[in-house]
Amino acid sequence: MSQKILILMMAGMLWIFLPLLSLAADVETTPPASTSDDESDEEAYVIGLGDVIDISAWKDEALTRSCVVRPDGAISFPLIGEVRAAGKTSSQLKAEIKKKLDRFVPDVILSVDIKQVNSMIVYVIGKVNAPGRIVTNADVDVLQALATVGGLNIYAKRNSIKIFRDEKNETTIFPFQYDEIVEGRRLEQNIKLKRGDVVVVP
């Protein structure tokens, strides 16, 4: 094989591999896309006590960790210390941490994700077969909550059930008539439960 042909073959192979090398460089130097800023805060999950949050800074292992929201609603994070997490969405928490970190790590690329939901707790008490608290990762209505605790016992006042909800230091009471719901009437009583709701079955 002549030297000229060998050079032409090597040049051809170089043209084949150049796009792949360029793609690899782009993967290495382009920060991961974050979707948390695109979420609507009105619809986004609100962080609660006991939730586990993954916080990571791109290419900075020292600023990457999982944090558990303490009973006082705060988490601890390197460089900035205490940050209140409870009551915020992931995008709101991300913005606050980034603002505090900017004085130490300018233009930090931050990611904040909810790793584990532990704070979505509702309570069912009274004349049910297994009263107690329910930890849920999804929306649960009153009928589903009653089913989770084994249903009503034979002494329950089926049509005098109430749901207590505390919001902004005010308690709202919702009536729930079991017989109407199971008969398919006035289904608006079968409300979606929120964190901390208490279902009382007299």
CATH code, domain carrying 68? 3.30.1950.10
156 and 195 belong to one structural domain? yes
142, 168: one domain? yes
pLDDT of residue 154: 94
CATH number of the domain at 176, please. 3.10.560.10
What is the per-residue pLDDT for 43?
Answer: 61
Residues 184, 155 within the same domain: yes
Q: Tell me which residue range forms the domain holding 165.
A: 121-201
Instruction: Give the Cα separation of 201 and 146 in Å (integer).
Output: 9
Q: How many domains does the chain have?
A: 2
Question: What is the reported pLDDT for 27?
Answer: 43
Q: Which residues pair with 128 in a beta bridge?
A: 152
* H or E, element range at 12: helix 3-29
pLDDT digits (tens, 9 = 90+) for 135-166: 887 789 999 999 999 999 999 999 999 999 99
Q: So what's the pLDDT on residue 17?
A: 45
Residues of the chain with pLDDT under 50: 6-8, 11, 14-30, 33-39
At 128 the pLDDT is 97
Separation between Cα atoms, residue 57 and residue 64, nearest integer Å:
6
Q: Is residue 23 part of a domain?
A: no
Task: Mark whether 55 and 69 lie in a shared domain.
Answer: yes
CA nearest neighbour of 74 among 56, 60, 53? 53
CB-based burial of residue 169 (10 Å sphere; 0-12 exposed, 13-18 middle, 19+ buried)? exposed
Task: Look at the chain and count its residues.
Answer: 202
99 in the same domain as 168:
no
Residues 192 and 146 in one domain: yes
State pLDDT tens for residues 29-38: 445 544 444 4
